[in-house]
């Protein structure tokens, strides 16, 4: 992208006051200081194709750009990003031109010269809604709304210019005749109207006319009554191409070779000239200023904004070089009516076309940058440094602080932008956590608003929080009192106690309460599984959030029943079950049920004065918690045995309970 050095300024005439001419100079600007010059940025450009006109119309309601296309006799409808939304085809033949919107922007009207008619479209749906024939020989070239009618201009076979009007209610056409029968203009005149003066119609000698004439008509009531006529012989601006009312309809703007002529919309007297031999196009801004485009230049900018009451341009834009180092030419320029967008279309000899979108071009861009420490201590002095751009020295900048206690933001004393844009915020954050500072400039009539934020992590104290029961083991279905204790706190004195039973069940809140005078919250909990228990403190402005956990274990119930024995008797002090060798002991275990659970059966025998492991096996537990195991094989007479059932966490098919062994059952065999 090129950078151009602006060596001269295009001075401007104030849009009120005595007639005068300021021309392009190669020295310093004679009427004021150097205007701000901005190089159009890559973010402002959008590729566009198929544009071949100079009658760009902005539909601010539907965010469309409208233009008639001479080569293929269509109306192209582009979106604000340059993509093609629709192509309207009013009809065959030449002369599709002059798109104009109704006052409420709901209807679009297009002149169709070859058909001697005007075509109406729904501006939202972009579909044709009506056609209005104007009669033979009335080939419309320009359109304008005024006095409740749609006015059009045309030229007859003798190249004399005329105007007429169309009543959209009934399609009636009226042709204006001069009172003395004289010719109104040479060639079809240029028309202009304004919603600020709805009963006024301006008519200028046809495109390319040298000096006029310029007419002002009162068209209230549907007929044209001439209020003023003027011709200009100063030759400052000739070969007219543009005619516009200023936004407030107090002035008329004529664009052509030599620049822009500004005249009074009351009596057509000349006010002044903005002179430039590079004139390309002009549009009125949403204020009372002008946006003028000029032919490309390797040094000078191509777009210039003139604000009301100034004698120099207030802002200029430089169109950057393309990749081929070619100077793009501005094909058209237009301002969004009542809005904050301006558009320029550039074309290059190789065919590349670009749509440039200027957001709020009447206002100077501003910016704010903040620098703050990543971390800081609560209640300690904290410094945030800032740098503003485009903001006048001494301008107030609002400061807002958001934190845990001021989520909507708390206003701090404003700061002022320094001479070089620097400023400083000094604060002592009263609470910790994420603290965000926002500095904002409200903007002005000529400067855009801007803001910036900086976030600081402010320290929080760690609260003392405990929870009892960690590692404790409890019987199945027993009730246990869980107690959480919170030490020193600030504003938040609430503790939550949560229980997450092992297995598929979700974590659930047991109790949420304010701590008592001792700092405790207690809840009774019935245990059926191992449970992860949490005490949660959500934090406050001085203490960080904290969670502590305990694991409370639960044993399953286990019992073992023996059958098929013929008697019980004691050996020593221990009771034994006696079996004949022909009988197989039947062992029935009852255990707390759980899906796919297995119990472990463990056998031991007594020898050499001690109990020795003999055999073990896992047996599935049914949904009622029962399992049966029969000891088969050859049984030895006189050997003492014992057996017990066990739940082994992790090996029993689940781990939701604590490993638990049942009581031993003793048995032996006889003949």
Neighbours of 263 (CB within 10 A): 23
Q: Which CATH number belongs to the domain containing residue 87 in this structure?
A: 2.130.10.10
42 φ, ψ to 5°?
A: -60, -30
CA atoms of 10 and 24, how far apart (whole Å): 5
Backbone angles phi, psi at 221, to 5 degrees: 80, 0
For the chain, state the CA radius of gyration: 46
Q: 605 with 641: CB under 8 angstroms?
A: yes
C-alpha 122: how far from chain center = 30
Segment 50-77 shows an average pLDDT of: 86
Q: CB neighbours of 582 closer than 8 A, spacing ≥ 6?
A: none
pLDDT tier for residue 352 given thresholds of 50, 70 and 90: confident
Average pLDDT across the chain, whole number? 89
What is the reported pLDDT for 373? 97
Q: Which of 532, 554, 576 is the C-terminal boundary of a domain?
A: 554
412 plus 522 within the same structural domain: no
Per residue in 398-438, pLDDT tens? 999 999 999 999 999 999 999 999 999 999 999 999 999 99
Residue 43: strand, helix, or coil: helix
Query: Do the domain assignments include residue 354?
Result: yes
Q: Which residue range(s) make up the domain with 452?
A: 367-458
Q: Please, are residues 669 and 585 in contact by the beta-carbon 8 Å criterion?
A: no
449 or 299: whose pLDDT is higher?
A: 449
Q: How far is CA 214 from CA 129, 268, 470, in A?
A: 34, 8, 96
Q: To the nearest whole percent, how much of the chain has pLDDT over 90? A: 68
Tens-digit pLDDT profile for residues 538-550: 999 999 999 999 9
State how many domains the chain has: 4
Check whether residue 607 and residue 508 sit in a common domain. no
What is d(CA 49, CA 352) in angstroms, rounded to the nearest whole number? Answer: 8
On whether residue 2 sits in a domain, the answer given is: no
Summarised one tens digit per residue, pLDDT across range 647-667 is 999 999 999 999 999 999 999
Phi, psi of 114 (to 5 degrees): -65, -30
Tell whether 259 and 393 lie within a shared domain. Answer: no
pLDDT for the residue numbered 289: 73
Q: What is the CATH number of the domain that holds 434?
A: 2.60.40.10
Least-confidence region, from 28-37, 127-136, 327-336: 28-37
What are the residues whose beta carbons fall under 8 Å from the beta carbon of 170, sequence distance 6 or more? none
Q: Is the peptide bond before 610 cis (omega within 30 degrees of 0)?
A: no
**Closest of 547, 551, 522, 520 to residue 535, by C-alpha:** 547
pLDDT higher at 502 or 304:
502
Does 232 lie in the same domain as 339? Answer: yes
- Higher-confidence residue of 139 and 221: namely 139
Query: Would you state the pLDDT for residue 423?
Result: 98
Is 15 a member of any domain? no
Is residue 10 domain-resident?
no
Identify whether 516 is part of a domain: yes
The mean pLDDT value for 311-324 works out to 74
> Would you give the DSSP letter of residue 199?
E
Longest dimension (CA), the chain: 150
- CA-based nearest residue to 417, from 438, 401, 400, 441: 441
* CA distance linking residue 423 with residue 417, whole number of Å: 6
Which pLDDT score is estimated for 28? 28
The tokens for 120 are 């109406």
Give the mean pLDDT of 443-447.
83
Q: Do 159 and 34 fall within a single domain?
A: yes
Question: Would you say residue 612 lies in a domain?
Answer: yes
Give the Cα-Cα-Cα angle 61, 66, 70 (nearest 5 degrees).
Answer: 170
Are residues 313 and 430 part of one domain? no
Q: What tokens does 575 get?
A: 């009771």
DSSP at 513: E
Of 445 and 454, which is predicted with more confidence? 454
User: Buried (b) or exposed (e) across 85-100, using 16+ Cβ within 10 A?
Assistant: ebebebeeeebbbbbb
The total number of residues written for the chain in this structure: 671
Do residues 348 and 375 both lie within one domain? Answer: no
Backbone angles phi, psi at 113, to 5 degrees: -65, -45
Are 151 and 200 in contact by the 8 Å Cβ rule? The answer is no
Pick from 92-106, 439-453, 481-495, 514-528: least confident: 92-106
In a shared domain, residues 581 and 535: no
- pLDDT band (50, 70, 90) for residue 279: confident
Nearest partner of 107 among 96, 94, 120, judged by Cα: 120
**Higher pLDDT, residue 583 or 299:** 583
| Residue 139 domain-assigned (yes or no) | yes
Higher-pLDDT residue of 271, 35: 271
Considering the entire predicted model, what is its pTM? 0.62
| 532 shares a domain with 446 | no
Q: Would you place residue 2 in the very low, low, confident or very high pLDDT band (cuts 50, 70, 90)?
A: very low
Rounded to the nearest 5 percent, the helix, strand and coil shares of the chain are 0, 50, 45
Place of tokens 């609260």: 463
Q: What is the pLDDT of residue 194?
A: 94
**Per-residue model confidence (pLDDT) at position 33:** 55
Cis peptide before 667 (omega within 30 of 0): no
Locus of tokens 């490309």: 296
Assign 13 a pLDDT band (cuts: 50, 70, 90). very low
Q: What is the mean pLDDT of residues 135-140?
A: 94
Residue 3 located in a structural domain: no
Distance CA 7, CA 278 (A): 15
Q: What is the pLDDT of residues 356-367, one digit of tens each?
A: 998 888 788 899
Distance CA 290, CA 296 (A): 19
Here the tokens at position 469 are 């029961």
Q: Please state the separation of Cα 618 from the chain's center in Å.
A: 63
Helices (H), 132-241: none
Final residue belonging to a domain, choices 536, 554, 572: 554
Do 451 and 488 belong to one domain? no
**233 and 379 co-located in one domain:** no
Alpha carbons within 13 angstroms on the beta-carbon side of residue 368 total: 31
Residue 475, domain CATH: 2.60.40.730
Pair 310, 245 in one domain: yes
Average pLDDT over residues 276-296: 81
Of 515, 535, 554, at which residue does a domain stop?
Answer: 554
- pLDDT per position as a tens digit, 582-639: 999 999 999 999 999 999 999 999 999 999 999 999 999 999 999 999 999 999 999 9
pLDDT given at position 70: 66
Band (3; pLDDT cuts 50, 70, 90): very low
For 166-198, write each residue's pLDDT tens digit. 999 999 999 999 999 899 998 899 999 999 999
């Amino acid at each position: 992208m090129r950078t151009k050095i602006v060596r001269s300024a295009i001075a401007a005439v104030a849009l009120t006051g005595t007639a005068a001419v300021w021309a392009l100079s190669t020295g310093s600007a004679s009427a004021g200081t150097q205007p701000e010059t901005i190089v159009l940025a890559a973010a402002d450009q959008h590729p566009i194709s198929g544009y071949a006109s100079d009658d760009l119309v902005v539909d601010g309601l539907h965010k469309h750009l409208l233009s008639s296309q001479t080569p293929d006799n269509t109306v192209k409808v582009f979106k604000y990003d340059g993509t093609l939304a629709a192509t309207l085809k009013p009809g065959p033949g030449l002369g599709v031109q002059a798109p104009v919107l109704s006052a409420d922007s709901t209807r679009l009207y297009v002149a169709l010269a070859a058909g001697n008619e005007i075509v109406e479209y729904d501006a939202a749906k972009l579909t044709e809604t009506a056609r209005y024939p104007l009669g033979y020989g009335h080939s419309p070239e320009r359109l304008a709304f005024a006095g409740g009618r749609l006015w059009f201009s045309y030229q007859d076979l003798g190249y004399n210019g005329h105007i007429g009007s169309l009543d959209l209610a009934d399609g009636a056409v009226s042709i204006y005749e001069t009172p003395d029968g004289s010719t109104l203009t040479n060639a079809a005149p240029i028309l202009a109207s304004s919603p600020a003066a709805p009963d006024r119609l301006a008519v200028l000698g046809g495109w390319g006319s040298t000096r006029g004439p310029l007419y002002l008509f009162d068209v209230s009531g549907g007929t044209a009554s001439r209020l003023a006529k003027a011709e200009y012989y100063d030759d400052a601006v000739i070969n007219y191409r543009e005619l516009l009312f200023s936004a407030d309809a107090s002035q008329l703007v004529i664009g052509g070779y030599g620049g822009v002529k500004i005249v009074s919309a009351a009596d057509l007297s000349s006010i002044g000239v903005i002179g430039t031999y590079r004139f390309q196009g002009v549009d009125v801004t949403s204020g009372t200023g002008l946006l003028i485009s000029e032919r490309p230049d390797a040094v000078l900018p191509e777009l210039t904004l003139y604000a009301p009451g100034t004698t120099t341009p207030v802002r200029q834009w430089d169109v950057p070089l393309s990749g081929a180092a070619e100077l793009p030419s501005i094909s058209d320029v237009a301002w969004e009516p009542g809005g904050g967008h301006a558009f320029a279309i550039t074309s290059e000899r190789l065919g590349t076309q670009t749509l440039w979108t200027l957001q709020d071009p009447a206002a100077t861009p501003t910016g704010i940058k903040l620098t703050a420490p990543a971390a800081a201590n609560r209640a300690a002095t904290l410094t945030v440094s800032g740098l503003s751009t485009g903001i006048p020295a001494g301008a107030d900048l609002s400061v807002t602080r958001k934190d845990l206690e001021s989520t909507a933001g708390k206003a701090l004393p404003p700061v002022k932008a320094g001479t070089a844009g620097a400023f400083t915020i000094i604060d002592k954050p009263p609470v910790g956590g994420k603290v965000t500072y926002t500095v904002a400039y409200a903007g002005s009539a000529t400067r855009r608003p801007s803001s910036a934020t900086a976030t600081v992590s402010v320290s929080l104290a760690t609260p003392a929080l405990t929870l009892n029961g960690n590692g404790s083991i409890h019987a199945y279905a027993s009730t246990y009192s869980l107690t959480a204790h919170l030490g020193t706190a600030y504003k938040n004195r609430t503790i939550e106690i949560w229980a997450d039973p092992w297995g598929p069940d979700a974590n659930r809140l047991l109790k949420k309460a304010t701590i008592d005078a001792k700092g405790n919250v207690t809840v009774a909990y019935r245990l059926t599984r191992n449970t992860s228990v949490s005490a949660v403190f959500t934090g406050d402005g001085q203490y960080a959030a904290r969670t502590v956990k305990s694991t409370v274990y639960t044993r399953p119930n286990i019992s073992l029943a023996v059958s098929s024995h013929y008697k019980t008797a004691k050996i020593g002090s221990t009771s034994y079950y006696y079996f004949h060798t022909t009988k197989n002991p039947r062992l029935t275990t009852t255990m707390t049920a759980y899906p796919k659970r297995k119990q472990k059966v463990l056998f031991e025998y007594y020898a050499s004065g001690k109990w020795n492991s003999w055999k073990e096996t896992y047996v599935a537990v049914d949904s009622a918690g029962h399992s049966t195991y029969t000891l088969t094989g050859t049984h030895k007479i006189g050997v003492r045995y014992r057996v017990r059932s066990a739940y082994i966490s992790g090996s029993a098919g689940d781990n939701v309970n604590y490993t638990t062994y049942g009581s031993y059952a003793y048995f032996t065999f006889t003949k």
